[in-house]
Structure 1
Amino acid sequence: MDTVIIVGTYTKPLGHVHGKAKGIHVLRHNVKEGTLHVVASDVEGFGEGPSYLSTLRSQRSDDGATLRVALVACNEGEADLAPSTLTFAELSIPMSNHDDGSSSSVVTAVSRGVAVIGAPPTPCHVSASGQWVVAATYCGGSVSSHKVTIAEVDGHVSVSDAVCLVQQSQFSNINQSRQEAAHAHQAIFLNETTLLVCDLGADSVTTYHLDSQTGGLTCRDMFALPPGCGPRHLAVHPSKS
């Protein structure tokens, strides 16, 4: 059985990257054969700079021919111009090739942007778990939570504007070019109610409790890392120990 790989992109040149894509890319990976098949390139509908993506839900059709995937993307643009938004969309992805080896096009069923209310621009990481999405915003050093809703009638997935936003304020200033303020670079779920947030500007990883009913975020602990290391991303071992 093939595994679907969805690749985020930059859609315009920025200070740190020469983005020139038009949208996301969809691939299929055959684990047994070790092959990658391009299903679709430059799938539009995810707004500007859909660099980081997270899956809200995925479901195969009864015959297995199509995979329906709901995604949320953070939109990275110019820090002084771009709106601070996330975009969610649903894709219909073909899981088999035609006789000529090609695939039919990926269909973008629904697309809408949501606001990270009160945050400066450029969210740079987004994660989803259960009923909630969380986003880390680099320029503002903030973390926000967003409610995920699945319609009973047609099963469409939607994401709310930010229901809670926490402004991180500590920074080390060891490297004055990038640690002059808090820079939240990643927010991931350790479990459904615990977040880990990497802050490049503060040389720290902070844990937050997410209220599963209200989406409220409460700081629990801050773990200091070596001065100047500027943590961007972390990964949790499958054992979570």
Structure 2
Amino acid sequence: MSTRLVIGSYTSDMDGTGIGLSSVPGGHVVTPSPSYVITDGSYLYAVNEGEGAVSSFTIDTLELLSTQSTGGQWPCHLALIDGYLLAANYGSGSVSVHPVADGKIGPRTSLVQHQGTGPDAERQEGPHAHQIVSGPDGAVTVVDLGIDRLVHYSFADGALTRTGETALPPGTGPRHVAVHPSGRWYVAGELNSTVVTLLSGKVVATTPSTAVDGHNQASAIALSGDHLYVANRGPDTIAAFRLDAHGVPAPIAEVSTGGSWPRDFALVDDGLVVANERSSTLVWFSLEDGIPVPTGKTVETGSPTSVLPL
């Protein structure tokens, strides 16, 4: 498996060292809790979760180019849209907008704030923006775990304008979504361990994300053809589903991640790589008829939280 990987991690109170680059032996850059990393092909952009900031780096040498405050708490997800970097601030339930030029992030030009609560008094005491999804014609959707909503915006000239929202079953705690070419959306419910299937903004199915009893927090979700994959923290599994004729996920397997607390995974080289945050390991799987099969390859790396193939 030759694909280069960029690994984000937690550094505060954990054993992560910052951003790691698999193509450079021992290569990493120290930066505060870069828990999520993206690229535009020329530069890397990372959240600094505990600092309420975003940073940019060169892609080959990991030289720091810029850092800017998001104006919110605990940024956890990023998107590059039309020359701007958007950050989802989990702690404060807001979305910041920053211009980007030649890899350098400019000062924040906009900040939109969500409002509301959910039925889980501990986790949904307020809004918690968790993912930003870019769509056609300037459409942007923000997944908000705290208010059980997908909040929809138009985006033009660096400004977000709210256009509507999609309500999910109370207590779902939406974390991330995967969008199918058919127009179906698959939402990973972190709080109720489900995958919610949406079509035209309507709930058409709700499927358990794990068959294992006990505490679970669903995390990453991804599509590969007619297969859907969800990481489950608690049972520490990857659940595999096949989409049926109606586009509804049907479970076909659930396998151990070979570590603890799978925060993220990525589809890489006809397989997948899982970032096990609490066991500080990356674990490789092949995909055989859509089912993850351990390859035996495991790499130790401090508290990995995101996997980005280059």
Q: Deviations over 1:45-75 (max 9, x none)?
A: 5x2000111112x2xxxxxxxxxx3011011
- Residue 232 of structure 1 aligns to a residue in which SS? strand
CA contact (8 A) 2:65 2:104 kept: no
Q: Flag the 1:41–1:177 CA change in 2: closer, same or farther, 3 A.
A: farther
C-alpha distance in structure 1 between counterparts of 2:43 and 2:128, whole Å: 28
1:7 equivalent in alignment to 2:4: no
Compute the displacement of 1:206 (Å): 0.9
RMSD over aligned CA atoms reads: 2.0
Describe the shift of the 1:73–1:191 C-alpha distance in structure 2 as closer, same or farther (beyond 3 A).
farther
Structure 1 stretches of at least 4 aligned residues deviating more than 4 Å after TM superposition? 238-241
Q: What letter is aligned with 2:19?
A: I
String of CA shifts for 1:165-190, please: whole Å, max 9, x gaps: 00001222x11001011111111212
> Could you tell me which residue of structure 2 aligns to residue 147 of structure 1?
99
Change (3 A) 1:109 1:239: farther
Corresponding residue number in structure 1 for 2:146:
201
Structure 1 residue 169 corresponds to structure 2 residue 137: no
Answer 1 or 2: which has greater strand percent: 2
Is 1:72 equivalent to 2:45 in the alignment? Answer: yes
SS in 2 for 1:223: strand
Q: CA deviation at 1:43?
A: 1.0
Structure 2's unaligned 5+ residue stretches are: 185-310
2: distance between equivalents of 1:42 and 1:122? 26
Aligned residues: 184
CA distance in 2, matches of 1:187, 1:240: 17
Equivalent residue, structure 1, for 2:80:
128
Q: Is the 8 A contact 1:23 1:42 kept in 2?
A: no
User: Following the alignment from structure 1 to structure 2, what is the Cα–Cα distance between the partners of residues 41 and 181?
Assistant: 40
* TM-score relative to the length of structure 2: 0.55
Q: Distance in 2 between matches of 1:24 and 1:114?
A: 17
- Which among 15, 21, 31 is matched to residue 20 of structure 1? 15
Structure 1 equivalent of residue 176 of structure 2: 233
CA distance in 2, matches of 1:176, 1:221: 25
Which residue, out of 48, 53, 73, partners 1:85?
53
What one-letter code is carried by the residue in structure 2 that aligns with 1:163? T
In structure 1, stretches of 5+ residues that fail to align are: 14-18, 28-37, 59-68, 78-82, 93-106, 151-156
1:43 to 13, 19, 28: 28
Q: How does 1:172-187 map to 2 (within 5 A)?
A: 172=118, 174-187=119-132
Do structure 1's residue 116 and structure 2's residue 70 form an aligned pair?
A: yes
Once the two structures are TM-superposed, the CA of residue 130 in structure 1 deviates from its matched residue by 3.6
Contact 1:22 1:42 in 2 (8 A): no
SS at match of 2:16: coil
Whether the 8 Å CA contact 1:87–1:111 is kept in 2: the answer is yes
The code of the aligned residue for 1:51 comes to: S
Letter in 2 for 1:89: F
Q: Give the residue type in structure 2 aligned to 1:169.
A: Q
Inter-CA distance 128–23: structure 2 relative to 1 (3 Å threshold) = same
Q: What percentage of residue pairs aligned between the two structures are identical? A: 34
SS of match in other structure, 2:174: coil
Report if aligned partners of 2:74, 2:90 keep a CA contact under 8 Å in 1: yes
Can you list the C-alpha shifts for 1:65-107, whole angstroms capped at 9, x where unaligned?
xxxx301101112xxxxx3210111122xxxxxxxxxxxxxx2
TM-score, L = length of structure 1 = 0.70
Q: 2:178 and 2:121 mapped to 1: Cα distance?
A: 27
Distance across 2 between alignment mates of 1:160 and 1:191? 25
Residue 122 of structure 2 aligns to which amino acid in structure 1?
S
Output the CA distance in 2 between the equivalents of 1:111 and 1:192: 30
Matches of 2:181 and 2:20 in 1, distance apart? 27
Alpha-carbon distance change, 40 to 224 in structure 1, aligned in 2, over 3 angstroms = farther
